[in-house]
Structure 1
Amino acid sequence: MQKQPKTRISVCMATYNGRHFIEEQLNSIFPQLSEHDELIISDDHSTDGTWEFLLELKAKDPRVRLFQNDGKGLIANFANAIQQSAHPIIFLSDQDDIWHLDKVEKTLPYFENPKTKVVISDLIIVDNDLEILVPSYQAMRHTHSGFWHNIVKSSYIGAGMAFRSELKEIVLPIPAEVPMHDMWIGLLADYYRGVVFIPEQLVYYRRHGLNASEIKTTASRVQQFKWRWNALQLVRKRIKEIKKK
C-alpha cells in the first residue's frame, strides 16, 4: 500500500524584536518541515537585528518567506502572515516559544476528520530559562470548545493553534478591534462547531516579561466585558457577511 504524502503546511510566525529568542524556536520548527512546506514570517519593523537575521536565513532556506507588517501591532502582524500562506494547514507560531519535536506529526491526524477546522494543543508554560511554571495550560484555564463558553472566558491560544486554510475566507481581514487574533479565529470556527482541543502538550510556552501577549489580563471587569461584547458583535457581523455570499 502506497504511503500518502504528508499534508503541506504553512507555519505563520509574527516577529517583533525577538532576536534573543527566535533561533531556538526556529531550530524546533525546521526539522518538522518538509521541503514542500513553508515558514511565513511577518515582521513588525524590528529594531534589534531580527529582520537582518531573517534576511540571512531566507538566503539560506527557500522555505522561508518574509514580509513586513503594513498594519500596526500583533493582530495585524499575524493577519499579514496568514494572508500570505499557501498551504492547506496553517500552524501559528510565536517567536519566543519552543515546539516539541513531534508537534506537527501529532497535530495533523486530527484533521483527518473533515469537520475539524481548528486544532489547539495543550502547552507547558515555562520561564525564560525553560523552567516549568505551569505544567498544563489547559488545566489552568479549564479549556474546552464551545462558542458561548469562550465568549465568557476565551481558552483559545494561538501558540497551540493550527487550522485549515479554508478558514482564511472567514477570518480575514481580522478586525483591529478584536481582543486577540486567536480568540477571533477560535470563535468563528467554534460557531461552526469545528474546534478541537487536544491533550498533547506540544509547545513550551515561554513567559519572560517581554511577550507581545499575556495570558492574564490586568484590565478591569468592565473593560473585559466591553471586549467580550465587542467581540460578539464583530463575530455576528462577520457571520452575516459570510451568509450573504
Structure 2
Amino acid sequence: MITVCMATFNGEKYIEEQIISILSQLNDYDELIISDDGSTDSTVEIIKKIDDKRINLVFNKNDRGYSSNFYNAMSMATGDYIFLSDQDDIWLEDKVTITLKYLKSFDFVVSDAFVVDSNLNLLEESRFKTFNISNGFLPNFIRTRYIGCCMAFNRKVLDALYPFPEKKYNIPHDLWITLISEKYYKTSLIDNQLIKYRRHDNNVSNGGLTVKNNKRSFFQIIKSRIIYLYLLEKQKGKTKRKNKKW
C-alpha cells in the first residue's frame, strides 16, 4: 500500500492538476493524505470537489508551518511506502512504477526532476545535474540538495523519524528525513526525471544553510550541525540498522 503525503496552503492555482496526476497512478487501496495549513483561498473547496475516496483531507491546527504540516500528514500515514508531494508540481506517469522498483532494494530514494516555471516551460533538464546531487551522509550533512517532493521511503524509515524534531530546532522535514535515511538506511538516487518541479517565488524548500562570508553565518552553521548530530544520536535506538560509515 502507498501513502502519498501532501501539505497545502493557499494552493488553489495548481492543486487540482497535481492531485489528478497523483491519483491516476494509485490503486484503489492506496491513500493520498492532504494536510491543509489554514488556507484562505479555495484550496480546500477544490480538494473536496474532487471527491475521491482515496483522499484523506485533514487540517493542521496545533502547530502551523510548512514542515509541521508535512509532519501532520506523515503521522497519519498507514502505507508500506511513503511518497511526499508538494501542492504545485506534476507527477509524470511512470513515477510510482519506477519508484516502487527501487524501493524493493532500498529504504529511501530520491528521484531527478525536470525544473519548470509556473507555466511548465522547461528551465532545467535535470535537477541532479544542475546541483551536482549525490547521495551519502557526509555531503548531505554538510549541505543537502534533496527536496521532499522527490523523496519516497519505506515504513521503517517513517517509524524511525518519530518523534519529529521540536520546532525550536528549526529542522525542515525533508532535511530530517534525509539525515535519518543517509545515516542509518540503504539509499539510492533515481536518475529518471519523475516529476515536473515548479520553481517560482512561492517555493519552500530546505536547500541547507548558505555559507556567507561572515563569522555569524559560519558559527550558525557549525551550531546547526552540532544539533543535527545530537538529534541523530538520540534517534539511533529507534532505527533498525547499525550506523553506516560516513
Q: Could you tell me the TM-score, scaled by structure 1's length? A: 0.87
**Identical columns (%):** 41
- Per-residue CA deviations over 1:154-178 (Å, capped at 9, x if unaligned) read 1322111000022222112321224
Match of 1:74 among 66, 69, 81: 66
Deviation string, structure 1 residues 45-81 (Cα, Å, up to 9, x no partner): 1001112222333xx2110001111312111110111
| Residue of structure 1 equivalent to 2:34 | 41
User: CA 1:196–1:242 in 2, change beyond 3 Å: closer, same or farther?
Assistant: closer
Alignment of 1:65-104 (within 5 A): 65-69=56-60, 70-104=62-96
Instruction: Verify: 1:146 aligned to 2:146, yes or no.
Output: no
Superposition deviation, residue 193 in structure 1: 3.9
Q: CA deviation at 1:219?
A: 7.1
Alpha-carbon shift at residue 216 of structure 1 (Å): 7.6
1:24 aligns with 2:17: yes
Distance 1:83 1:214, change over 3 A: closer
Corresponding position of 1:112: 104
Asked if residue 179 in structure 1 is aligned to residue 158 in structure 2, the reply is no
Within 2, Cα distance between the matches of 1:216 and 1:201? 22
How many residue pairs end up in the alignment?
232
> Which residue of the other structure, out of 222, 230, 233, is the alignment partner of 2:230?
233
Structure 1 residues 34, 204: CA separation in 2 closer, same or farther (over 3 Å shift)? same
Aligned mates of 2:122, 2:93 — CA distance in 1: 18
1:203 aligns with 2:195: yes
Query: What do the CA deviations read for 1:17-70 (whole angstroms, capped 9, x no partner)?
Result: 10111111112111101111110000001001112222333xx21100011113
Q: Distance in 2 between matches of 1:123 and 1:167?
A: 23
- Specify every segment of 5 or more residues in structure 1 that has no aligned partner in the other structure, as ranges: 1-7
- Report the alpha carbon displacement of residue 241 of structure 1 after superposing the two structures with TM: 5.9
Label 1:190 to 1:202 Cα distance change in 2 as closer, same or farther (>3 A).
Answer: same
- Checking the alignment, whether the CA contact within 8 Å between 2:108 and 2:185 is kept in structure 1 is no
- Per mean C-alpha deviation after superposition, the further-off stretch among 64-73 and 210-219 is 210-219
Distance change >3 Å, CA 12–CA 212, structure 1 → 2: same
Aligned residues of 1:45 and 1:51 also touching (Cα < 8 A): no
Matching of residue 125 in structure 1 with residue 115 in structure 2: yes
Shift in alpha-carbon separation, 1:130–1:227, aligned structure 2, 3 A: farther
- What is the correspondence of 1:147-162 to structure 2 with a 5 Å cutoff? 147-162=137-152
Cα distance in 1, alignment partners of residues 19 and 100 from structure 2: 19
Question: In structure 2, the residue corresponding to 1:85 is in which secondary structure?
Answer: coil
- 2:75 aligns to what SS in structure 1? helix
Give the whole-Å Cα distance in 1 for the aligned partners of 2:24 and 2:86: 17
Aligned mates of 1:32, 1:149 — CA distance in 2: 33
Give the corresponding residue for 1:63. 54
**Deviation at residue 9 of structure 1 after TM alignment:** 0.5
CA contact (8 A) 1:146 1:193 kept: no
Answer with 168-177 or 65-74: which moved more: 168-177
Query: In structure 2, do the counterparts of structure 1 residues 86 and 200 end up closer, same or farther at CA, with 3 Å as the change threshold?
Result: same
Give, in whole Å, the separation in 2 of the partners of 1:95 and 1:104: 17
